[in-house]
Structure 1
Amino acid sequence: MLEADKKLIEDNKQTCSWFGSYGIVPHLAEMVDAKTILEIGVAYGYHADFMCTVLPGINYVGVDPYEAGYDPNDIFCQDVQRLFGEMVPQNAMNRLFNVVSSNLLKFEGRAKLIREKSWAAADQFKDGSFGLVYIDGDHTYEGIKKDLNAWYPKVSKGGVICGDDIGWVGVKQAVDEFFVGMNRDYQIISKDGFENMPAFYFIVD
């Protein structure tokens, strides 16, 4: 089943609309000379694969609980369930986790996948562990707020914390409140031609 599932995920790339935003994280990583990247929200693993390929010198850690139904407004779990033809949503997420875990093995120890809620996984790492933290997991207000509070301390000085979908209401509210509370301003970035897919970033000092 695993090999068949891997083919389904590979074929699904052709219909995925997320690739328009790819390239922002490698750009930011090179800007701050990040050697370690933490991604919250791995999903199909396409972005993880992209980053590990275009940044051969980095070590990557991805955190994703692969949990169905965490946000009724997020259709990702439904897409995965439909792709695998599963009646039980959590079974589909389990199969996706197995595929992504297998696909990351080709990076020979440079890529690690942690299946856990992101804010809980943060306790596994010392403060200042990462040159870049990318938030792309739970897009609810509460989810983004928890991720910012949990992972901001894990970014090294001179490193960057960033995340996508800053145009989403809940995401923007959480990001705004976090940086207003610090009396700091974050920056907006997007790829040329994909201005409708902006991300935020902040260099930690």
Structure 2
Amino acid sequence: MTGTRDTLLKRIWRGQDPFLNYPALLYRQDRQGWGSSHPYLTEAIEALRPSVVVEVGVWKGGSTISLASTMKAMNLDAVVIAVDTWLGAWDHWNNDEWFAHLNFIHGYPALYHTFASNIVGEGLQGHVLPLPLDSVNAAYVLRNYDVQADVIHIDGGHDYGAVMSDLREWWPMLKPGGVLIGDDYPHWPGVKKAFDDFFTEQGRFPFEFEEPKCRIFK
């Protein structure tokens, strides 16, 4: 466990580690995901050597694993705060294939357990701290504890309103010199419009992108 993770664990989780004695063998690992490995993710860790990374929208943890694996390989005192409800979004409920991945048990998604078993199975629990909340409430919690991020990865909702909300909540929580990475750009129209509109307001458009991600340094 890193010192940074331990500090946040004591504040946010009151010292109760959600991965402690986690029964990973009861759940099947499944690394299915989208855009889980991308140069922007590894470059952010290698170049900035962050202590706090926030990922908004985690799914099964593919990109969380990419970020945390690089942290671990570099022996950084760093943590990925993984923000998700693990209940799916409207697009997961409207798509038959994605709906099945929510892994329902008695009418309730068990997707969190897929994520947790992936993290524990990869031995990365010392660099990951889950925060099972929606984006807005998670931002309120972290602001309450004066947590700012060196790197933020936005991979939540795909509609304009959700993405714009994420950007308005999280951009102010990025430290100067940090980087915000967005997923699903530019091929999801709502995602593209939200990023373009928000960063036009910030005077930072156009910005760099390499499908399916974009990045903006602060």
TM-score by length of 2: 0.73
Q: In structure 2, how many angstroms separate the alpha carbons of the residues matched to 1:30 and 1:143?
A: 30
Matched length = 187
Q: Which amino acid aligns with 1:187?
A: F
Q: In structure 2, how many angstroms separate the alpha carbons of the residues matched to 1:109 and 1:85?
A: 26
TM-score by length of 1: 0.78
1:6 partner SS = coil
Q: Runs ≥4 in structure 1, deviation > 3 angstroms?
A: 1-5, 16-19, 73-81, 83-88
Q: In structure 1, how many angstroms separate the alpha carbons of the residues matched to 2:28 and 2:198?
A: 38
Give the unaligned 5+ runs of structure 2.
1-22
CA displacement, residues 153-192 of structure 1 (integer Å, 9 cap, x when unaligned): 11111101111111111011111111111222252232xx
Q: Which residue of 2 aligns with 1:50?
A: 66
Q: In structure 1, how many angstroms separate the alpha carbons of the residues matched to 2:62 and 2:92?
A: 18
Q: In structure 2, how many angstroms separate the alpha carbons of the residues matched to 1:157 and 1:61?
A: 19
- Go from structure 1 to structure 2 and tell me whether the alpha carbon gap of 1:6 and 1:22 turns closer, same or farther (over 3 Å shift): farther
Q: Which residue of 2 aligns with 1:35?
A: 51
Matched-pair identity in % = 22
Q: In structure 2, how many angstroms separate the alpha carbons of the residues matched to 1:37 and 1:51?
A: 8
CA displacement, residues 82-137 of structure 1 (integer Å, 9 cap, x when unaligned): 3577487x52x2x1102322443433432111111112110112366110000001
Q: Which amino acid aligns with 1:98?
A: H
1:76, distance to aligned residue in structure 2 (A): 8.6
Does the CA contact (< 8 Å) of 1:130 and 1:155 recur in 2?
yes
Q: Which residue of 1 aligns with 2:217?
A: 203
1:153 equivalenced with 2:172 (yes/no): yes
1:109 partner SS = helix
Give the unaligned 5+ runs of structure 1.
191-196
